[in-house]
Amino acid sequence: MISQKFGRFLIKEWLGGGRFADVYLAEDSLIGKEFAIKIARGGEANLPNLIEEVKLLSELLHPNIVRFFTVEKHQGRTGIVLEYINGPSLRRIIKEKAPLNIAVVSSFLKQICSAVDYAHSRMILHRDLKPENILVEGNKLKITDFGLAFFLEGEMTRSVAGTPPYMAPEAWRGKYYKESDIFSMGVVAYELLTGLNPFFADSIEETMRNVKKGIRLRDIPPYIPESEKEAILRATASDFRKRYGSASEFFSDFIKESPGQSIITLKGKGKKKRSNLSEEQKEAVSSPFKYTLVIGGPGTGKSQSLIGRLIYLIDNGVDPEGILITTFTNKGKEDLEERISRYLREDVSHIWLGTFHQISTKILESSSHFIGYSQGFSVIPSGIAQKTIDVILRNKKINYPSSEFLRLISFSKSSLIPPEKMEIGEQKKKALIDIMRAYQEWKRQNGYMDYDDVIHLTYKLLKENSLVREDYNRLFTDIIVDEFQDLNKVQFEIIKLLLGRSGKLFATGDDDQSIYQWRGGKPELVRTFKKVFKENSRIYYLTRSFRLGEEIIAPALNLISRNRDRLEKVMWSEEKGGKVQIEGLATRNEEAEFVLSKIASGAARGRSFNEFAIIARYNYLLRNYYSVLKQNSIPFSVMFNKNFMRKREIEVLINFLKLLSRPTKLPFIFFVNLGDHLISREELKGKRNYIELLKRHPNKVVRERALFLSSLIKRASSLKSSIALKIGVEYTGLLKSVPNRSFFVKSEIIGELMDLAIDFDERSRKKDIKSFLSYIDLLFSKGFIKSEEGVKLISAHSSKGLEFPVVFIVDAYEGAFPAFSTYMTRKRMEEERRLFYVAMTRATEKLYIIFPKTEKRTSVEISRFVREALGI
Amino acid sequence: MEDFDIKIGKPSYLSNLIIYPAFGDENSLALVTLEESHNRGGTRILETGVVEELEIDHSDGDLLFIHEGEEIIGARQNRIFATSMILPMGRKRVPVLCAEEGRWKGGQELAPSGYIAYPRVRSIISRTITIKKKPSQNEVWREIKRKQTTMRVSSKTRAMTESFSAKEEELSFYREYFPEREQIGFLAFTNLRFLGGELFFSTDFFQKFLNKLLVSYGLDALEDRMREGEKPQSRPEEVIEAVRKARLREAETYGVGEEMRGVTKKFVLRLLLLTGVIVHLSVLSR
């Protein structure tokens, strides 16, 4: 026990502690200055020796070493008075931010190495270097506890000092050299780069075994550049004689190639050829061909090749401002931006990098006057677009849902098929032409563009205006395209126009990972690349997966090879590992319990919760999991699809619930009309008793509907939200009346909302409609629930581009994955298979595929994809 | 509770567990603890066939005091007492919670384990028993499981007692507390939060529970010790003020005396009175 006064020091706060000592913030009552006091937990330390040692240590004056001042003795305890650092330990930084980018790690390591070298030059070893003993104040690192491990751990452990997962093999035998500190630094560097300790295990014996085995090359993630890998391997070599002789030597090897230096350096530049790219990546990156396509499966390093290409171009004298890089998603853009700036060590805003929408907007901003937008333009959200079409439809007295026309207009623009040539009924075609013209005119007059216009008008501008086009042809010498398989027709045409005659194309893609065909994605662009770019073109294949173990590659390839429309590929891995486990559980609840138990046991063995992902075909299938994880206090993040609330069916049903909970005139008229144009707003203008009037309306249908709705409104407060929804589905005939949308798609969307309502009714104290409406409002306005830390709950679509050591694909049964809606055509089933393939290949170490044997008391069948993957 | 008169002393530091001593009036009551009585054969704790009830067969002359959260082990599953109580001689069925989710077999008799449930578990019991009139068994099981996962304790039957025994060595440092003269209770904070406080009617009686309470609080402190983060928001003065202002309601009492309970935004309070004297007061972080 430490009372508030420790000698002349007033204890103010506990700052931290290890197994053998605690550190307190204390104020020196004589001079009023704050210090940190480290107090051994055991009894009296070997005081005379300690004082002698502290005399030596107090002479350690280095900007990255916490200063020793004196020793204080109080009530049989010994306290070492140290400089107080007001900042977290490196452990907290690792916990919150690791893996850190290489530039930051280099900056940290530089300071650590400088301090360690300085101490070693004075013959002082640290003996317990670990993140807890490195404090961070702003950007400055300070190492604490130099030479103290020996004293603080007392006689009992005098022969062995240190913290097991950071201790060199010789330290386990009680022998310490300066190379032992370098070993610990290697472990710290590994942890900064990966967020994981390479040796950590449940028991001390296992930790010792891991330390003896040492770090193997395959333990280091492939994204870490070669120089860092090699430096870490040498620093942590089991034999101390094979390690670096000094910390500075370690650091100079560590930063040999990055950051600030190219990740690839090719012949002809007078430098040694050395890089962190594989041979096949290097070959692709340095392709001399005008049109290059790099095809590779999951984890084969396509993005790395893409960055490699950029750096190769810059190294070869290409002006970065003449390089255009397109990505499919904003997330992809941000990832690339971060990685490129990390490698180039500079701001990358001068490079044309963005999604198609971002690039197109940038082009239009300077040239929109050429296409009739003389005052510039603003982009309208899809909600306004739909409302505008509603108005046009009303004015033209056309009885079709606006969402359907919006979809057709969008399809026409993205596929470059004019409405005249679309394969739809003549009457509908005529209406579409009419509406499209009116809609375009309205936008042009008001200076608006919708989301599709941005791309379509860029295409039009480049196609029709040779001056603008040639300007960009001169600007862009090289165009780099990520996720080539996801381009739609108009995006591909824009690329060709921007390339002109002399531009070079470098694209990466994988037709097996094309999961956006329903949005217009054209995986056939990958297959027909050589046909389109006949001359001076080349396809390179990346075959080695750095992410997946062989055990996962084999079933994944089994599965995807069932697709007919695909390019045959080879994929292999040097990693022998990876495990696939298939589990059939009795119910979905048992499924969730199984996942939970695996996560808990994994966590107990030292895995971080961030290492787990639960992937389902649809978001709603994951809700079961977030309640189970929440109950067990396991951190998780879940992503909702914000577009869900914008779906036509959902909008109608939510408006129906709103009408029941708070009736107002316009929605009432809408639900009496139900698209039949039986009554108009004008008819009831200024009439407050509109419900009564409609109940006596001469039209029988209006009368009946008004009577039904008014009686329902009266009962609304006693209705459960799920019951009200069921009535809504029946009343609106939603499952019958939305044209051109398959029954299954609609029923899945409506089912998702219905599940939310049932779940809400089961869990909530208030089950009324109003409470349900505010609940879903909250749910979907947030998008993400909880922090981004913890177990990831994601839909298969959102999982693309991510990777996790442990993945659970849940609800792998017929009807859920593959979804019913994909049974109709081979094309859709093939896309669904690609989706399952994408989900499978997110796992780097362990993949669980799980399915319930019954769902809603009906027995279900294991997904055909599981059978195909296993060859059964 | 506006006349609640208590003084808080200067803190002592047991690593990240900060103990503020509490001083108040010394009273004299002839109470025997469960462990004392059980050790001398004056009390037996028996199964009733119902998980949430045990029978106390108390044949000692003295009034028997049972501390809320006190753990008894054996029989079909280990249990913890749902509430503090004072029992006269005789047989009495009292409310308990299961503290071992994975065991359903065993004998008929139980014995004190020497541990008191850690503050997080006690807070769950107090909160749910106050608000819902019935303690939540599921929440208690979940908390025990959560603690074991977080602290990497392996227990085949998810027994709370194993959380203590597995961490015996680390917890020993928290026992190194020397009470001050006339100290009858304490308020305890960790580096991250207010854990709770206890108050008894006399110095002697407080000291009978001190070691057990330090270990109990230590288990929560040990978990917080692994974390760096924001400092605790509440101060001792705030806790005392909350106790003074708390609206306590009379609750069902098992045995003699009166039990009062209350829940505020931040705290859960329980008070056991005998002839107007505070026998035991607990205030836990909600």
Sequence spans of domains, chain B? 7-285
* Whether A17 and B142 lie within 8 Å, measured CB to CB: no
Query: What pLDDT score does A871 carry?
Result: 75
* Whether B228 and A632 lie within 8 Å, measured CB to CB: no
Arithmetic mean of pLDDT, A272-300? 82
Residue B180: closest CA among chain A residues belongs to which residue? A3
Chain Cα centroid distance, residue A218: 24
Residue B145 near chain A (CB below 8 Å): yes
Q: Measured between alpha carbons, how far is A522 from A529 in angstroms, rounded to an integer?
A: 12
Is residue A637's pLDDT more than 70? yes
Is residue A477's pLDDT more than 90? yes
Of A1, A11, A604, the CB nearest to B176: A1
Task: Give chain A positions within 8 Å (CB) of B154.
Answer: 604
Cis peptide bond N-terminal to A288, omega within 30: no
Is residue A460's pLDDT more than 70? yes
Residue A24 near chain B (CB below 8 Å): yes
Chain Cα centroid distance, residue A215: 28
Helix (H) or strand (E) holding A225, with range, is none
Exposed e or buried b per residue across A169-202, where buried means at least 16 C-beta atoms within 10 angstroms of its C-beta: bbbbeeebbbbbbbbbbbbbbbbbbbbbbbbbbe
Instruction: Please work out, in degrees rounded to the nearest 5, the angle formed at the alpha carbon of residue A43 by the alpha carbons of A40 and A46.
Output: 80
Q: Measured between alpha carbons, how far is A356 from A324 in angstroms, rounded to an integer?
A: 11
Residue B149 near chain A (CB below 8 Å): yes
- Say which amino acid occupies B183: Q
Considering only A772-776, A863-867, B134-138, which range has the smallest mean pLDDT? A772-776
H-only helix segments in chain B: 34-39, 119-131, 137-150, 160-166, 168-172, 203-225, 236-245
Arithmetic mean of pLDDT, A434-450? 85
Query: What pLDDT score does A638 carry?
Result: 64
Percentage of residues in chain A having pLDDT higher than 90: 21
Tell me the C-alpha to C-alpha distance, in Å, between residue A310 and each of A320, A505, B23: 8, 12, 72
| pLDDT: which is higher, A848 or A452 | A848
Q: Measured between alpha carbons, how far is A373 from A368 in angstroms, rounded to an integer?
A: 5
Mean pLDDT over all residues of chain A? 82
Residue B4 near chain A (CB below 8 Å): no
CB A772 within 8 A of CB A657: yes
* Whether B142 and A13 lie within 8 Å, measured CB to CB: no
Cis peptide bond N-terminal to A259, omega within 30: yes
- The residue behind tokens 């014996």 is A205
Percentage of residues in chain B having pLDDT higher than 70: 97
Query: What pLDDT score does B118 carry?
Result: 97
- Using pLDDT thresholds of 50, 70 and 90, give the confidence band for residue A397: confident
Nearest to A149 by CA among A233, A40, A258: A40
Q: What is the DSSP letter of B230?
A: P
* Whether B15 and A22 lie within 8 Å, measured CB to CB: yes
Is residue A783's pLDDT more than 50? no
* Whether B13 and A22 lie within 8 Å, measured CB to CB: yes
- 3-state SS of A780-816 is HHHCEECCCCCEEEEECHHHCCCCEEEEEECCCECEE
Query: What pLDDT score does B151 carry?
Result: 85
- Using pLDDT thresholds of 50, 70 and 90, give the confidence band for residue A157: very low
Those residues with Cβ within 8 angstroms of residue B196's Cβ, 6 or more apart along the chain or in another chain: B119, B122, B123, B187, B188, B217, B282, B283, B284, B285
* Whether A1 and B10 lie within 8 Å, measured CB to CB: no
CA atoms within 13 A on the CB side of B124: 17
Query: What pLDDT score does B6 carry?
Result: 87
| pLDDT: which is higher, A554 or B84 | B84
* Whether B142 and A633 lie within 8 Å, measured CB to CB: yes
ipTM field: 0.77
End-to-end CA distance of chain A: 66
H-only helix segments in A503-606: 524-527, 529-532, 550-560, 588-604
Is residue A261's pLDDT more than 50? no
- The three-class DSSP label of residue A610 is helix
Query: What pLDDT score does A838 carry?
Result: 94
Considering only A159-168, A247-256, A505-514, A651-660, which range has the smallest mean pLDDT? A159-168
Arithmetic mean of pLDDT, A429-439? 89
Query: What pLDDT score does A763 carry?
Result: 58
* Whether A91 and B142 lie within 8 Å, measured CB to CB: no
Residue B142 near chain A (CB below 8 Å): yes
Residue A602 near chain B (CB below 8 Å): no
Q: How far is A606 from chain B (nearest CA, A)?
A: 9
Considering only A498-512, A533-547, A786-800, which range has the smallest mean pLDDT? A786-800
* Whether A1 and B191 lie within 8 Å, measured CB to CB: no
Arithmetic mean of pLDDT, A62-73? 85
Quick: pLDDT tens for A594-615: 999 999 888 888 888 889 999 9
Residue A202 near chain B (CB below 8 Å): yes
Is residue A750's pLDDT more than 80? no
Query: What pLDDT score does A759 carry?
Result: 64
Segment 166-195 of chain B within 8 Å of chain A by CB: 173, 176-178, 191
Ramachandran region of residue A297, left (φ > 0), alpha (ψ -120 to 50) or beta? beta
Q: Measured between alpha carbons, how far is A560 from A837 in angstroms, rounded to an integer?
A: 6
Residue A433 near chain B (CB below 8 Å): no
Query: What pLDDT score does A272 carry?
Result: 32
Task: Give chain B positions within 8 Å (CB) of A14.
Answer: 13, 15-16, 18, 191
Is residue A154's pLDDT more than 60? no
Q: How far is B215 from chain A (nearest CA, A)?
A: 14
Query: What pLDDT score does A266 carry?
Result: 33
Query: What pLDDT score does A146 carry?
Result: 76
| pLDDT: which is higher, A45 or B16 | B16
Mutate to test the interface with B, among A9, A14, A203, A597 (most CBs of B within 10 A): A14
* Whether A4 and B176 lie within 8 Å, measured CB to CB: no
Quick: pLDDT tens for A690-737: 888 898 888 888 998 899 899 889 888 888 888 888 888 888 877 665
Q: Rounding to the nearest 10 degrees, give the CA dihedral for residues A745, A746, A750, A752.
A: 10
CB A463 within 8 A of CB A500: no
Ramachandran region of residue B257, left (φ > 0), alpha (ψ -120 to 50) or beta? left
Query: What pLDDT score does A179 carry?
Result: 92
Cis peptide bond N-terminal to A165, omega within 30: no
Is residue A290's pLDDT more than 50? yes
Percentage of residues in chain A having pLDDT higher than 70: 86
* Whether B149 and A603 lie within 8 Å, measured CB to CB: yes
- Using pLDDT thresholds of 50, 70 and 90, give the confidence band for residue A151: very low
Considering only A760-764, A778-782, B7-11, B112-116, which range has the smallest mean pLDDT? A778-782
- Using pLDDT thresholds of 50, 70 and 90, give the confidence band for residue A646: low
Q: Which two tokens stand for residue B26?
A: 């010394």
Of A16, A202, A631, the CB nearest to B142: A631
- Residues of A annotated as catalytic are 128
The pTM is what? Answer: 0.47
Query: What pLDDT score does A341 carry?
Result: 74
CB A540 within 8 A of CB A567: no
Q: Measured between alpha carbons, how far is B30 from B47 in angstroms, rounded to an integer?
A: 28
Chain Cα centroid distance, residue A861: 31
CB A653 within 8 A of CB A743: no
Query: What pLDDT score does A153 carry?
Result: 44
R_g of chain B, CA atoms, integer Å: 18
Residue B154 near chain A (CB below 8 Å): yes
- Mean pLDDT by groups of 10 residues along chain B of 286 residues: 80 91 91 95 94 93 93 95 94 95 90 96 93 88 89 89 92 88 94 93 95 96 80 81 87 90 91 92 93
Query: What pLDDT score does A53 carry?
Result: 65
Residue B153: closest CA among chain A residues belongs to which residue? A604
- Using pLDDT thresholds of 50, 70 and 90, give the confidence band for residue A76: confident
Percentage of residues in chain B having pLDDT higher than 90: 64
Of A1, A11, A22, the CB nearest to B178: A1
Task: Give chain B positions within 8 Å (CB) of A22.
Answer: 13, 15-16
Query: What pLDDT score does A147 carry?
Result: 62
Q: How far is A518 from chain B (nearest CA, A)?
A: 43
Query: What pLDDT score does A735 carry?
Result: 65
